[in-house]
Structures are given as structure tokens and as C-alpha cells.
């Protein structure tokens, strides 16, 4: 009788496991009908919960719309944090954004908002998650963790020293605008003097901070850099977004009449040309909107080695549903091609998401040259219809 009960229980367990597996399979097969539940605020700092959610998000046909919603919430959080100084609202919006799509920049800005209200323990957790997601620039991030540990008295002196050392070695003291008074909290420690005196002097503050910005871009390729007509939407590309700490190098991040631009996100592309005096970089700007096709612009910008902008040129765009610009840059030569996008059905009758591109037609080509001073000159003799 006892052996019968054991066998019966075993059969029931196997049946239950099979049933659960079948339900999970049906859930995944449903695809477009399944959306993973957002991460709870309590689990925003729990690694396995984050990993499981991101795995499930990859399986969902609603992934793109979920990420778009997250980005809209994040930008509302930035507006509250940077422009309105409403820290509680910033925390709410940013946590909601993270619950839909965890990423480095949102954890970093959440940490800043929590720091502003004196919630040092949770701010530290947010900054630590930003490290997990490979946030850049790292100097300020490491400093913030050291600061949180010291203020909350939740870390030992060894931890504080290690994080402060990481901050300094990653260029904290060389950041433009960094105030030495920010280190007063640590000056009484016996190890403080050895940290701040053993700092490599590799250049000016401006040059070192600009270099940390440049490191986010793909290195220059001897074969040049190209974005074709089929690639300008960046539909399947993984974008590395530029943090607001670098706003001084990306002028579009600042809206003169309002403060931080909260309608676009900016992402790294590539280093494309350099000399001993100047460097040329390409970055993108994507408008955050619901549905339809995102407007994306690509700028080539030349800078001095200290990060002062010299010149700028729009080289590519997903300008509208009908118009796109592709580009190719090799050394100091730039070719921009305008194209028309032809749809199978009239866009006034059939929306983009239910339509298909029938053809892309080359229309006009423009050529530019980066001169020795970093100016971007138009080669007027090479403009014309293709």
C-alpha cells in the first residue's frame, strides 16, 4: 500500500510538471498575445528577477512597444529631475520605466533622484545596478556609491576607499566643473592623501572628460563607416545611449527655452576621422513616439581635442515615411544620398505598421570634405541627380 502511494505521488508530480511545461509552451506560442508582467519596484535590484524579465521580454512580440513606453516614462523622469527638480515624481517615473525595461541610464538617474532626497541606501542600490548594465562615464558613478556608503554609514572604510579610488582612477578629478569640496566628506580618512596625490596627469580636465565621451563610440575603421538606406531606421540595432552628463558635447540635448530635451534620445555611432588636432564623430538622435516610424537624425560633428565643437553636418536621417538619407564616410570624405521610399499602398489609406516598402529610389547625392581645421565643406561640383 505504501509503495502504491509513492508511485501514485510520483505519477502526479510528473503529470503536473508536464502540464506546466505545456502551458508555458502555449504561452510562448501565443507570441503577440503575451506580455511579461512588469518587474515590481521591490525587485528592481534583484538580479535573477531582472534577468528573467529581460529573457521573457525577448520572447514577446510586444517588446518594441514596451521599450517605447519605458523610454517615454524615462524622459518624463528626466524632465522632473533635471528641469522641474521634482524628485518624488522623477523617482516614480523612472521606477515605472525600469519596471518595463531595465537599463543603465535609468538606474543612474534613479540613483541621482534618490540621492537628492537623502535615500542613500536605495540610491547605492540603483548606482550598483547601473554598474551591472555597464554605465558610462564611470567616474561619477563610483563617486556616488562612495558618497552613499559614507553618508548612510552602511559600508566599511575599505569599501568607501575602493569606490573612491575607482572614481579617481576613472578621471573624477579631471571632470570639468568638479568641485574639490565634494571630497571633504573623505578628507579625515588616513588613506585619503595617498588617493588624491597618486593621480595620473594625462592632460587638461576638458581633454580627459572629452576622451571619456569619445570612448563610447566605435573606433575608426580604415574601411570607413557606412549606414545604408536599409539601415537608417536602426530597427534591429542595439543602441548605446549617450548619458546626460555629456550634454556639453551634444548640443541637441539642451533645449534653450526649456532645459533638458525630453523628447529625444541620443546614441553613439562611430569615430570617423581624426588628425593630431581634430576628431570627427557621428551620433544619432531618435524622437520618442508611439507607433509609426521613428524620426532619426544622424549628425557628423568635428571637435578639438578638448571637446570644443568646430562644425556639424546632418549626414543621414529616417526623415519621414517617404524620405531617407544614407551616408558613407571614409577618412575626410563624406557622401550623403537622398532616397525616396515607395510603399505598396497609399499611406493615407493604409498605416505604416500594416504596409510594406515596395522600393527605395536614389534621388540626389551630396559630397563633403572635412578640412584640416575641422570645418565641413560642401564639394559643390559633385552635387546632382543620380
Phi, psi of 288 (to 5 degrees): -90, 115
Helices (H), 137-204: 138-152, 157-169, 192-197
Residues 165 and 265 in one domain: no
Same domain for 199 and 237, yes or no, is no
Using DSSP's 3-state secondary structure scheme, residue 221 falls into: coil
CATH number of the domain within which 118 lies? 1.25.40.10
* Domain end (from 162, 186, 210): 210
Q: Are 228 and 198 in a shared domain?
A: no
Please identify, among 168, 193, 210, the residue that sits at the C-terminal boundary of a domain: 210
Does 224 reside within a domain?
yes
Distance CA 278, CA 282 (A): 14
Phi and psi at residue 107, to the nearest 5°: -65, -40
Asked if residue 80 is part of any domain, the answer here is yes
Instruction: State yes or no: cis peptide before 137, omega within 30 of 0.
Output: yes
Same domain flag for 239 and 178: no
The reported pLDDT for the residue numbered 70 is 93
39 lies in some domain: no
256 in the same domain as 240:
yes
Euclidean distance between the first and the last CA atom of the chain, given in angstroms as a whole number: 88
Same domain, 281 and 362: yes
Q: Verify that 183 and 223 share a domain, yes or no.
A: no
169 and 300 in a single domain? The answer is no
Q: How many CB atoms lie within 10 A of CB 357?
A: 13
Q: Find out whether 237 and 256 touch, Cβ atoms under 8 Å.
A: no
In 10 A of CB 248, how many CB atoms?
A: 17
Domain count, the chain: 2
- 137 and 275 belong to one structural domain: no
One domain for residues 206 and 95: yes
Q: Check whether residue 187 and residue 246 sit in a common domain.
A: no
**Is 21 within the bounds of a domain?**
no
Q: Tens-digit pLDDT profile for the chain (386 aa)?
A: 444 454 444 434 434 433 443 333 334 444 445 789 999 999 999 999 999 999 999 989 888 889 989 989 998 999 899 889 999 999 999 999 999 999 999 999 999 999 999 999 999 999 999 999 988 888 889 999 999 998 886 667 888 888 988 888 887 877 766 666 778 788 777 777 767 665 555 456 677 778 888 988 999 998 999 999 888 877 666 778 888 888 889 988 875 444 455 578 899 999 999 999 999 999 998 887 655 567 889 999 999 988 999 999 999 998 888 899 999 999 999 999 999 988 888 878 887 778 888 888 999 999 999 999 999 999 865 444 44
Which of 210, 229, 253 is the endpoint of a domain?
210
Do 303 and 381 lie in one domain? The reply is yes
In this prediction, residue 10 carries a pLDDT of 40
The verdict on residue 343 lying in a domain is yes
155 located within any domain: yes
Which residue range is the domain that position 248 belongs to? Answer: 217-385
Please compute, for residue 131, the number of CA atoms within 13 A of its CA located in the half-sphere on the CB side: 17
Residue 106 resides in a domain: yes
19 domain-assigned? no
132 membership: H or E segment, kind and range: helix 120-132
What is the pLDDT at residue 338?
A: 94
Please give the backbone phi and psi of residue 142, each rounded to the nearest 5 degrees, phi first: -65, -40
Amino acid at each position: 500500500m505504501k509503495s502504491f502511494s509513492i508511485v501514485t505521488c510520483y505519477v502526479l508530480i510528473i503529470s503536473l510538471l508536464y502540464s506546466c511545461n505545456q502551458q508555458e509552451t502555449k504561452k510562448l506560442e501565443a507570441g503577440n498575445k503575451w506580455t511579461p508582467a512588469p518587474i515590481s519596484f521591490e525587485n528592481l535590484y534583484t538580479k535573477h528577477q531582472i534577468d528573467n524579465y529581460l529573457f521573457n521580454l525577448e520572447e514577446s512580440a510586444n517588446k518594441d512597444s514596451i521599450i517605447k513606453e519605458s523610454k517615454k516614462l524615462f524622459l518624463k523622469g528626466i524632465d522632473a529631475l533635471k528641469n522641474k527638480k521634482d524628485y518624488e515624481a522623477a523617482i516614480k517615473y523612472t521606477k515605472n520605466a525600469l519596471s518595463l525595461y531595465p537599463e543603465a541610464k535609468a538606474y543612474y538617474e534613479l540613483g541621482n533622484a534618490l540621492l537628492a532626497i537623502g535615500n542613500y541606501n536605495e540610491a547605492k542600490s540603483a548606482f550598483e545596478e547601473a554598474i551591472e548594465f555597464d554605465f558610462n562615464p564611470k567616474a561619477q558613478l563610483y563617486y556616488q556609491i562612495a558618497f552613499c556608503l559614507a553618508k548612510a554609514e552602511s559600508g566599511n572604510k575599505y569599501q568607501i576607499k575602493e569606490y573612491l579610488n575607482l572614481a579617481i582612477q576613472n578621471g573624477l578629478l579631471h571632470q570639468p566643473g568638479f568641485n574639490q569640496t565634494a571630497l571633504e566628506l573623505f578628507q579625515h580618512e588616513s588613506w585619503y592623501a595617498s588617493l588624491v596625490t597618486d593621480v595620473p596627469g594625462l592632460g587638461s580636465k576638458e581633454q580627459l572628460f572629452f576622451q571619456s565621451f569619445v570612448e563610447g563610440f566605435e573606433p575608426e575603421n580604415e574601411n570607413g563607416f557606412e549606414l545604408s538606406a536599409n539601415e537608417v531606421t536602426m530597427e534591429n540595432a542595439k543602441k548605446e545611449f549617450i548619458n546626460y552628463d555629456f550634454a556639453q558635447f551634444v548640443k541637441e540635448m539642451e533645449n534653450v527655452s526649456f532645459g533638458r530635451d525630453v523628447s529625444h534620445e541620443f546614441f553613439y555611432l562611430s569615430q570617423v576621422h581624426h588628425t593630431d588636432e581634430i576628431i570627427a564623430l557621428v551620433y544619432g538622435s531618435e524622437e520618442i513616439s508611439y507607433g509609426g516610424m521613428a524620426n532619426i537624425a544622424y549628425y557628423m560633428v568635428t571637435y578639438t581635442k578638448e571637446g570644443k565643437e568646430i562644425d556639424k553636418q546632418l549626414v543621414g536621417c529616417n526623415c519621414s515615411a517617404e524620405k531617407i538619407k544614407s551616408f558613407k564616410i571614409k577618412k575626410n570624405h563624406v557622401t550623403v544620398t537622398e532616397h525616396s521610399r515607395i510603399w505598396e499602398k497609399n499611406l493615407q489609406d493604409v498605416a505604416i505598421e500594416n504596409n510594406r516598402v515596395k522600393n527605395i529610389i536614389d534621388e540626389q547625392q551630396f559630397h563633403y570634405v572635412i578640412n584640416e581645421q575641422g570645418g565641413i565643406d560642401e564639394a559643390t561640383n559633385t552635387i546632382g541627380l543620380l
